[in-house]
Every structure is written in C-alpha cells, then in structure tokens.
Amino acid sequence: MALRESIDNIIRYIARTGKIVEGFNQTLKYIKLGKLKYVVVASNAPEEMKNDVLYYARLSGIPVVEYPGTNRDLGTLIGKPFSVAFLGVIDLGQVSEDMLKPFIKM
C-alpha cells in the first residue's frame, strides 16, 4: 500500500505544480506531437484505447506509468469530479524525474 500512496502523492504534486492534460483525445494528441514527458494510464482503462496510447508512446519514446488505481481514483486524485483514464504530463513542475523512475512500467 505504501507504493500506491507514494505514486498518489507524486501525481497529485505534479497536477498542482506542473502542467498536465487529461483524457484519451488530448493525451493522444500530445503524444503524437511529442510534447509529453510521461503518460499515466489507469489500471482499468479500456484495452483498445490503452493499446493505442501505448503504441504511440512507444514510437515517441515517452515513458508510461501504470497507475494501480481505477480511473475514478485518478480523476479524484487530480481534483476532477469525473473519471480520468489517461493523463499526459507536459511539465513535471517541482517533481524530480528520479521520483517517477521506479513507477515506469512500459
């Protein structure tokens, strides 16, 4: 559970101090443009959409972090009143890249 709380805190801090985009369409758009540093995918994201995001992220060389919670948890975590299955990180803000390295899955 400590690992989940740790990634929760990191994503919450990125959302507050950095710049993010949420949602499938926006995340995919920014992946194709090469403007993202990381992509966060919820554990229960739809498989077809997840495969598209993973494919383009791999082509662009963007690391993907798989969030262990649901899309509803991810939406609540970043302060949105709706579920968010995909999250693109444009700017990490005050978070070091070393803090995210242990969570990179794909």
Q: State the average pLDDT over residues 19-24.
A: 96
pTM here is 0.92
The pLDDT value given to residue 5:
74
63-105 pLDDT per residue, tens: 999 999 999 999 999 999 999 999 999 999 999 998 888 888 8
| Per-domain boundaries in the chain | 2-103
| Phi, psi values for residue 93, rounded to 5° | 70, -125
Is the pLDDT assigned to residue 27 strictly greater than 70? yes
Mean pLDDT of 12-32: 96
* Helix 24-33 × helix 47-60 angle, to 10°: 20
pLDDT for the residue numbered 1:
47
Task: Indicate the burial class of 83 (C-beta count within 10 angstroms; 0-12, 13-18, 19 or more).
Answer: middle
Q: What CATH class does 2-103 carry?
A: alpha beta
Cα of 81 vs its chain's centroid, Å? 17
